[in-house]
Structures are given as structure tokens and as C-alpha cells.
Amino acid sequence: MKKLMQGMMLAVATLAVCAGAAQAKQLVFCSEASPAHFDPGPTTGGNDFDASSRTIYNRLVEFKHGGTDVEPGLAESWEISDDGLTYTFHLRAGVKFQTTSYFTPTRDFNADDVIFSFERQWKEDNAYYNYLEGISWDYFQGMDMPKFLKSIEKVDDLTVKMTLNEPNAPMIANLGMDFASIMSKEYADQLAAAGTKELLASQPIGTGPFEFVDYQTDAVIRYKAFPDYWAGKVAIDDLIFAITTDPAVRVQKLKAGECDIMDYPNPADIADLQADTNLTVAEQEGLNIGYMSYNTTIAPMDNVAVRKALNMAINKKAIIDAVYQGAGQVAVNLIPPTMWSYNKDVVDDAYDPAAAKAALEAAGVKDLTIDLWAMPVSRPYNPNAARVAELIQADWAAVGVKANIVTYEWTEYRELGKAKDRPGAFQIGWTGDNGDPDNFFATLFSCSAIGVSNYSSWCDPTFEKLIQDAKKVSDQGERAKLYEQAQVVFKEQAPALTLAHSKVFMPMNKRVSGFTMDPLGIHRFDNVDVTE
Amino acid sequence: MLRYILQKLALIVPTVIGITIAAFAFIRLLPGDPILAMAGQHGITPERYEILKEQFGFNLPIWQQYFNYVGGVLHGDFGISVATKRPVMTEFLTLFPATVELATVAMILAIALGIPAGIFAAVKRGSWFDQVTMGVALTGYSMPIFWWGLLLIIFFSGYLGWTPVSGRIALNFFLKPITGFMTIDSLLYGNWPAFVSSLRYLILPSIALATIPLAVIARQTRSAMLEVLGEEYVRTARAKGLSPRRVVGLHAFRNALIPVVTTIGLQVGTLMAGAILTETIFSWPGIGKWMIDSISKRDYVVVQSGLLLIALIVMAVNLIVDVLYAVINPRIRVQ
């Protein structure tokens, strides 16, 4: 019976293969979630960006594969004025927009497209500012673009001048981010004239390596290689996202050959995947940090000695072994070691319960009770905050500090955590947006971020001056020096416990070649090839 | 008969009102916020948050939000998804055929196996077949679908390699939906290999989804048959010298069918609940998975309208079953 069944299945499979397209090179990616839609401007999830900005679109500058350095994209070169206020971009000539069943471009990419792509997120009178019900340009706002941008002007068809209100060295890196993807103004105008602006989000047109073919809601996204891609047609012909929510099922699909590559495996499955001879498991340090913020305005945690003592009482190594299961490393600094300006000379607060206890006594702290906050969800930088909280609770108990573990629903958790007067120690984390250290230091610990994303309510004048100065200098070497000093101040002042940087895994079939893990967590398939 | 149907329809009205209140309140009682859930790690500015709340009408007093929702529904407007910005009705109509296809196959499976198993178990009461069948049915009934589905995948797809892991059809078939039913569409295109592929992809999820209804139907059929087999008219039929096949098939089964049909009707609700888990495990793009995703995103609009649409369909099916019931058993109509 089993033989008969197998025979039948084989016959069916053979038929199925015969019916498929003739030997096109196909790559199937088992992705984690459905994209909200295909406009990278208003969306915020990594799965949204994989499906839109990194496949269909390009930006003025691009992050190098596997790194966070920027390289020319749709801008072939650029100059920054000495005062750091004027950016002149020289655009690539002859770049085509994709031709699909729903749009045929009549002209090449030019300065109008660049201006449109930013103004639609910036100017309220732009026809696309509110083109979908209830959209918000979260990244454009989040990266403070409205604060920095003064104007974007067309000098000629292939030259764009961007003027800033104040110098902002991370600007170039911001322009490599997903929200800065370049749209076709010609297409947008055509849709607006037809009264179907909302199609911009469901029938995308870009200049990127793949063109959109079809999206079957919650199931499959299909792309094909854009034959006239400015950097040359990519090696694979068809790219398919098979949306598979459950990580255990993704693993089964990969093993069964139903997909070639998958994201976010369960840590528990890694060893099994590594042992499979048909698969390779790529891994990389994630550009992220899991940390725990002390509210530095509330006694006794307004005292540096107390914060340091609490840090010393925690056995970070043991937590990482228990919770991250080999997929993490102890975080010494706020930024991960792969990021430029990382200060390797900073010495971490060593695990020393006896010294911690003595320091607490010396500070006159007795019978201390702390609210210890734990996220209700698994995050890339912390797979299980509740477990981390339990381990910290036990470590603190050993030095006479009592911890009450507190948790809320995820959005509520973040809202409550932001409050300036929130008591206790708050677990949270961050995943880098653009590979610039400013994206960690200023976003998370600048004075202006208090009440927003500075969960320590920490405003240290020395630290603040260093990170603000680093924004104004364009030379990376000089900036690195400032950030290195900032890391020293951070460790001395201990506004937070730096817990871990996690590792990210990407299992794939051996027939896949050329895939590079990306520190920013994006999945790009333009360099990938498959052998038959 | 018409009066009977009208009576049943009249009963639906208060139920629908109850469901709109429950669906509306349920998602709002969960902690969380649809607009904040949508924002990325940078969050959203307080000003923009207020603007968006206003656009979606979440700033209005709660009773007003409810009446706007019901008013919209009465005009056929089910609202726009907070997360995807698409009309809820469009999303529902895109995804619903997949659920119907899966649920239909699961139901056919449950009936085709459950009724004969129940009859046979009743006729051979106390035999090893009866004991094994009822044991398996009890196990099936108690099985968590999530775990059972994954187990099926690991064994049949992973270990034996007989069935595909998840999805609706092999990826090399690219059929633009006509009806949204993959099996029917592939036949409409005249694509036989695609049809076979769509059937193969239905095997495991329909087994997972059919398990509970199958167990319930088998047990219900058995107990209904046992009751009927003890009746005097069955004894009379036997005494007339009819063959056991005719006694069981004609006299006993027709009378045992009435409670079984009711049970089958009630299983439609169970199937919808089971579809939520089955679709999530098997990446089946239907309304079950859609509901789960929307609840986790706190997409108030999708959840309140989606639940209502699902409830309306379950009620419609139950109405049809009630009518069928009256057709089978004319006594019901008189009552």
C-alpha cells in the first residue's frame, strides 16, 4: 500500500513539474508574515520592507550587502557642503521604472521622482499625504526628517539639492532606509488622474531588482526579475514569498524542499537544522541591543552607586546561556561590536554579588523593592523577557533587593514605560534602523528623547554634548572618537543595564548561493542564485 | 412551512444584535490599541495619534462608535481595516472561499466516515470494533488541533514525504482566482495537474479540521442508532423477515438521522472555530488566520465586522439545517 501511494504521489509530482514553467530559476522564501501592503513609506514591519522596499524599490543610497556602510544607489554621487547643510545628489542616468500589466513608463527616473518620494511624506498639501485612510509616515517622522529638512529642489533632471535646517551627519544613512524608497511620480500622477491613488500601495512600481507580479492575500507573493534593472538583471528569474506564520512549519517546509530559505527559526530547532546535510544555516550578530533602563530621576536609582551595584548583582552570562540558548552575547556597550565606533576598551560592570551588596550598604540602601518590567512578547533582542526577569529577581534577592515583576500588553507596556515618572527597572531593546551609532545613542538616551524613547529619563550633560557634537561633524573618524567617549560616560553613569546582543539565523537549502545575512535584519535576494 | 421559516428568521434578529454588541465589546475589552500596534519601534507622535484616532472614529464616545458601526453594517459598509487600509468586505470575500473549501472537504470527510462508523459500532455494540471506534473518537475529540496538525505535518510530510507541508497548491501553479475555490478554479482552467495538486494540499488540513466533528458525528450516530434499534418497529421489521441490511439501513437509520442532522448543523460552528487554528498551522489563507492576525493587531474594524460576518454565515447554515430537519421530520413543522 505504501509503495502504491508513493508511486501515485511520484506520478502526480512528475506531472506537476511538467506543467510548471520551463526551467526558470526560482527561489522560494518562507516568510514570517503577510505585508500590510506594498508602500514602504507608511509601513513599519521588517516583513513589509522585505516585500516592498528591498525587492521592488531602490533608494538614493543603498546599504552594502551584509553591512551598514552606504554605497551609491539611484544617486551616483553626492557632495555635502562644508557647513553640513546642503546635500547635492547627482542622479544615475538611464534608470528605468518597471513595466507591468498595469503601468508602462514613458520616461526614465529623474529628479521629480526623488522630490515626490519625500514630499508625499512631508508636505500635507501633497496629493498622497493622506492617500490611504489612516496612514502615518512613522519612519519619516521617527527619523526626525521634518525637523531637519528645509527644502528639496530640482537643479536639473539629474541633480537634486537637499537643504537642512541644521547639520545632521546620519542623514545619508537615513536615505538608505526603507521609508526613503523612490517611487515613480509619473505612475503616481497617472493613478491620481484616474482617481485610484490607493493602488500605489497594492500595485507597486519601482526601479528595483524585482517587479511585482501578484499577491494572493495571506498566502503567496510573486515577483519576477526586472529585465532592465539598472545594475543588471539578477540571477534568479522568479522570486516567491510563501507566507508561513508558524516557525515549526517553516522548518518542515524547508526540509521538505517546499521553500529554499526561511527566516526566524525557533532557537530550539537550530541544532537540528545545522545537522541536516541538505541545509546550511547562516548566522550573524544582530544589530540590536536588549537592555534594562533604570529611572534615574527616582531615589534610590538617582544614585549612580546604586545603579552600578544593581548591575554588578546580575549574572548576565548565566541569563544569556539560559534564555538566548546560544543565540546571543553579553552586551558591554549600548551598540553591538559590529558597529563602527564600538569602544572595545570599555570594561563592563563585573558580576560580583559581594561587592554589589557592600556598595548598596555603603549607599545606605536597605530593604529596597524595585518594579522589574518584563515585555509580554518575544523580541529579536530578547526572546523571553519574563524568564530574564525571573533570573534577575533571583540575582537581586541574593543581595537583599526585592523585585516585583510587572508586565502589560505590549503597546500598553511601551506607553506606560515612556512616562517620565515610571518607577523601577524597565526591560526593552532596540534594533538598528540605519547602522549609524546616532540611531542608538540619540534615539535612546538623548535629553530630548525623555518621555519618548529615553526610558531612563536620563539627561547627562557630558553625554549629551558628545552625541550632539557627533551629529554635526561629517568626518566618520571624528564622529567615532566622540561616540567612543560617549560609551565610557554611559558605562560610568549606568543609566541602564546593557544585557545582550542577539544572533540571527537564516537556514537555507544548499542549492542557494550568494545570500548574505544583513545586520539590519532585511532580507535581500538580488545577489542570490540557485543551482538546479 | 413558510411560517416555520419566518419564525426561525425572527429568532435570528435578536441574536444578530447580541453578536454585534459582543463582537464590538470583545476586541475593545482586550488591552492594546490598534494605532499604536501599527506603529514601529519609533512609535507615533501624539499629534498624529490624535489625528488617526479621529480618522477612524476611535475618539468618539463608545456608544457612538457602536452606532456608527451598526449603521455602517446596515448600509453594507463593514469599514476599512486599520492595518491594511483595505475594505473589510473585500478582504473577507478574498479569503472566505479558502475557508469554505477547507470546511466543506472536512465536513464531507467527517460525515462520510463518522456516520458509517457510528452505525457499525451501534450494530456491533460491545464488539472490539465498537470499543476501538469509540476510543478513537474520544481521543479525536480531546485532541488539541494545534498539536495534532503539527504532528500530522511532521509524520506525513516530514517523515513519510507523502503530503505537502502547507499552502493551498504547489507554487508552480499560478492560477488567477475565478471563484476563489482552488479545486474548482483549476478545473475551470482545465488544468488537471493543478486540480490534483490542490487536492493534495487539502489532505492534511482537512483531516486536522475534520477530527473533532468526525468524533462527534460518530458518537452521536452510534447513540441515536442504539436508541432506534431498541424500538418496537425495528423488532417488527426484523420479525417480518427483512434482511438485516434493510432493517438497519431503511427502518433504523432514517429515524436515527434526525438528531444526527442537528449535530451536523451544529458542527458548522465548531468547524469555524477549528478553522482558526487549522489555518494558522497550515498557512491556509482563510478567514480563520485573518481573524487571529487581526486580533493580535487589535484591528477593531476587522474583528468586529469579521466576527459578525462569520456569525451570520453560521446562522444561515443553521437555518438551512433547521429547514432540512423539518423536511425530514414533518412533526417539527406542526410544533
Per-residue pLDDT reduced to its tens digit, A32-80: 889 999 999 998 888 899 999 999 999 999 999 988 889 999 999 999 9
Side-chain-side CA neighbours of residue A517 (13 Å) = 18
Q: Quick one: pLDDT at residue A18?
A: 42
Q: Is A198 left (phi over 0), alpha (psi -120 to 50) or beta?
A: alpha
| A369-381 residue pLDDT tens | 999 999 988 888 9
Residue A266 has pLDDT above 90, yes or no: no
Q: Quick one: pLDDT at residue B46?
A: 84
Find all residues with CB under 8 Å of A101, minimum gap 6, and list them.
none
| B197-213 residue pLDDT tens | 999 999 999 999 999 99
Beta A369-373 vs A402-406: how paired, if at all?
Answer: parallel
Q: Quick one: pLDDT at residue B333?
A: 63
Helix (H) or strand (E) holding A464: helix A461-472
Contact between chains at A18 and B176 (C-beta distance less than 8 A): no
Local structure of residue A295 (DSSP, 8 states): -
Q: Taking the model in full, what pTM does it have? A: 0.89
For chain A, give the mean pLDDT. Answer: 92
Q: For an interface test with A, give the residue of B55, B58, B84 to mutate (most A CBs within 10 A).
A: B84
Give the SS3 label for residue A199: helix
Find all residues with CB under 8 Å of A287, minimum gap 6, and list them.
A68, A336, A338, A339, A431, A432, A435, A519, A520, A521
Beta A238-243 vs A220-225: how paired, if at all?
Answer: antiparallel
For chain B, give the mean pLDDT. Answer: 89
Q: Rounded to the nearest 10 degrees, how much is the dihedral formed by the CA atoms of B74, B75, B81, B84?
A: 150
Q: Quick one: pLDDT at residue A19?
A: 44
Q: For an interface test with A, give the residue of B169, B173, B174 to mutate (most A CBs within 10 A).
A: B174
Give the closest of B85, B162, B177 to A132, CB-based.
B85
Contact between chains at B44 and A21 (C-beta distance less than 8 A): no
CA distance A107 to chain B (A): 30
Q: What do you get for the CA distance between the two ends of chain B, in Å?
A: 11
DSSP codes of every residue in A449-460: GBTTTBTT----
Query: A3-12, A112-121, A250-259, A340-349: which has the minimum mean pLDDT?
Result: A3-12
Contact between chains at A141 and B45 (C-beta distance less than 8 A): yes
Residue A5 has pLDDT above 70, yes or no: no
Band the pLDDT of A8: cuts 50, 70, 90.
very low
| B233-267 residue pLDDT tens | 888 888 888 888 888 887 888 888 888 888 888 88
Band the pLDDT of B335: cuts 50, 70, 90.
low
Band the pLDDT of B334: cuts 50, 70, 90.
low
pLDDT-above-70 percentage for chain B? 99
Q: Is the peptide bond before A247 cis (omega within 30 degrees of 0)?
A: no
Beta A238-243 vs A26-31: how paired, if at all?
Answer: parallel
Band the pLDDT of A349: cuts 50, 70, 90.
very high
Contact B115, B260 (CB under 8 A): yes
| A15-32 residue pLDDT tens | 444 444 457 899 999 998
Local structure of residue A229 (DSSP, 8 states): -
Contact between chains at A453 and B38 (C-beta distance less than 8 A): no
| B7-64 residue pLDDT tens | 888 888 899 999 999 999 988 988 888 888 888 777 888 888 888 888 888 999 999 9
DSSP codes of every residue in B207-233: HHHHHHHHHHHHHHHHHHHHHHHTSHH
| A160-196 residue pLDDT tens | 999 999 999 999 999 999 999 999 999 999 999 999 9
Q: What do you get for the CA distance between the two ends of chain A, in Å?
A: 32
Residue A3 has pLDDT above 60, yes or no: no
Give the chain B residue whose CA is nearest to the CA of A215.
B176
Q: Quick one: pLDDT at residue B240?
A: 85
Angle between helices B128-142 and B192-229 (to 10 degrees): 120
Residue B332 has pLDDT above 70, yes or no: no
> What whole-number distance in Å separates Cα of residue A418 and Cα of residue A409?
14
Contact between chains at B165 and A9 (C-beta distance less than 8 A): no
DSSP codes of every residue in B128-189: HHHHHHHHHHHHHHH--HHHHHHHHIIIIIIIS--S-SSSSS-TT-----SSS-HHHHHHHT
Q: Quick one: pLDDT at residue A520?
A: 87
Cα dihedral B240, B245, B249, B255 sign: positive
Q: Quick one: pLDDT at residue B250?
A: 77
Which residues in chain B have Cβ-Cβ distances shorter than 8 Å to A443? 42
> What whole-number distance in Å separates Cα of residue B247 and Cα of residue B253?
8
